[in-house]
Amino acid sequence: MTTHAPAPAPAPTERYLLSADMIADPYGHLDALRDHAPVHWSPLHHAWLVTGYDQVMRCLRDPAVSADRVRPLMDAVPQGAREDAERAFGILSRWMVFNDPPRHRRLRQVFQEAFSARAVARYRAFTEKATRAVLARKATPGRTGDLLADVAKPLPALVFARWLGIPPTDGPSFWYWNTRVADLVLGTAQEESEYRASLQALVSLDDYLGALVARRRAEPGDDLISQVLREGRVGDSVTEEEFVGMLTQMAFAGGETTSNLIANTVLALHTRPDQLAAVRAEPELAQGAVEETLRLDGPSKMSIRTAARDLDLDGRTLRAGDRIFLVTAAANRDPARFPDPGRFDVRRSGATHLGFGFGAHFCIGAALARLVAVAAVRTLVCDHPGLTLADPGRPAWQPSLLNRGLTALPVHY
């Protein structure tokens, strides 16, 4: 009896990843891309789309794949806003996420101890207290509100401001600058005026944090900046300018990612009654719910890299200078790695998801983001059994190539 190998999956039609339907639900198309060719050249995006788990892992390990993308970000700035850009992009060039080894390793080591699980655990009691306080103000039974605005955004802001040592009176300006910086880094700024506002916000954030570092040198506190200064590496292994630049990255990254993780997890549970019931019955499964959200519908869809030199990947030749989209949203649903990958299972174990990256560029703030997200989800699910989605239809998502975040999450508390 003659057997034949299965026919390869047909090539999917090219789709623009920022079109409305792809923002609403990119997963069917990304799955089709991965099943057809896990390394695929997209003429529409002028980039390689890497969608297979093993292929993304190879790129995250390969020094030929560079994380430096400050130049492409700068190239996107309209000509009229360029005179404002020089200092702002100098700040971005000091962000760990845009640097390769060995500089990346040198910058990261300054924060390694402050971000350890042991150091982050010190904030557990404060996080749980802040969670209860935010919910007491906003999640009044019988009230209708926006869980994103009521809980998912202010809670990480409270915790991250406390962790960085931001005085409460400075909070409004600090978080306004962060929002504008996100517009620049995540590509949601479109008009020249929006780029100008984002570039100025990054400079203002850098100035503010520079002054705060000087204040903490004179008056140390119980916060991240004071801890790193006590360790003596600022002025030794990194310059003060590099340290302040990295603080702007910490300020930007923490709130945005964690807010989206909380909202996405609540949405995932409240559209899957069996999983919601499981977490209510066993509150410790809130951790599993957060991990499954990171895998299946997490706050990051992809990261952008550049080929530093020619390399072969899965039989395709990537040329030096080629842009590479590492589509973790597809890799985390790869059936070769995850059994029944489309199923949300709070008890899932086995393969490690790539929701926080991997290797040298694994998210340094992952432990703190998990701490805040799990506290919020566990409290919302277990202490607020009346919480329901006010509009269980199709949710609205932010138009971002990189991030997966809701514009709102209307609920009945």
Domains annotated for the chain, with CATH where assigned, are: 39-412 (1.10.630.10)
Structure token digits, residue 335 = 């059936």
Give the confidence band of 281 by pLDDT, cuts at 50, 70, 90. very high
Q: How far is CA 374 from CA 275, 321, 378, 413, in A?
A: 15, 40, 6, 19
DSSP code at position 79: G
pLDDT, residue 182, reads 86
Instruction: Say yes or no to pLDDT of 55 above 60.
Output: yes
Each residue's pLDDT tens digit, 303-317: 999 999 999 999 999
With contact defined as beta carbons under 8 Å apart, do 413 and 139 qualify? Answer: yes
At residue 298, the pLDDT reads 97
Q: What is the CA radius of gyration of the chain?
A: 22
Q: How many CB atoms lie within 10 A of CB 305?
A: 26
Q: What is the pLDDT of residue 5?
A: 53
Return the pLDDT at 48.
98
- Per-residue pLDDT band for 192 (boundaries 50, 70, 90) equals confident
Q: Tell me what pLDDT residue 74 has.
A: 79
Region 6-28: mean pLDDT is: 87
pLDDT greater than 60 at residue 1: no
pLDDT of 80 strictly over 80? no
Q: What confidence score (pLDDT) does residue 283 get?
A: 98
State the average pLDDT for the chain: 92
Residue 4: the pLDDT is 56
Mean pLDDT of the region 206-230: 95
pLDDT of residue 27 exceeding 70: yes
**Please, are residues 33 and 51 in contact by the beta-carbon 8 Å criterion?**
yes
- pLDDT exceeds 90 at position 213: yes
pLDDT for res 303? 95
> CB count, 10 Å around CB of 169?
8
pLDDT for 186: 79
Backbone torsion region of residue 165, taken as left when φ is above 0, otherwise alpha when ψ lies between -120 and 50, otherwise beta = left
The residue that leads in pLDDT, 286 or 233, is 286
Q: What residues contact residue 274 under an 8 Å CB cut-off, 6+ apart?
A: none
In which band, very low, low, confident or very high, does the pLDDT at 69 lie, cut at 50, 70 and 90? confident
**pLDDT score of 8:** 61
Residues sharing a CB contact under 8 Å with residue 2, sequence separation 6 or more, in sequence order: none
> Taking Cα atoms as reference points, which of 354, 310, 301, 303 lies closest to residue 324?
303
The pairing of strands 316-318 and 65-66 is unpaired
3-state secondary structure 295-363: HHHCCECCEEEEECCCEEECCEEECCCCEEEECHHHHCCCCCCCCCCCCCCCCCCCCCCCCCCCHHHCC
Q: What is the mean pLDDT of residues 101-122?
A: 90
Q: Which among 37, 63, 62, 41 is positioned nearest to 52, based on CA atoms?
A: 37
197 in helix, strand or coil?
helix
Of 71-80, 85-94, 166-175, the range with the lowest mean pLDDT is 71-80
For residue 44, the tally of other CB atoms under 10 A from its CB is 10
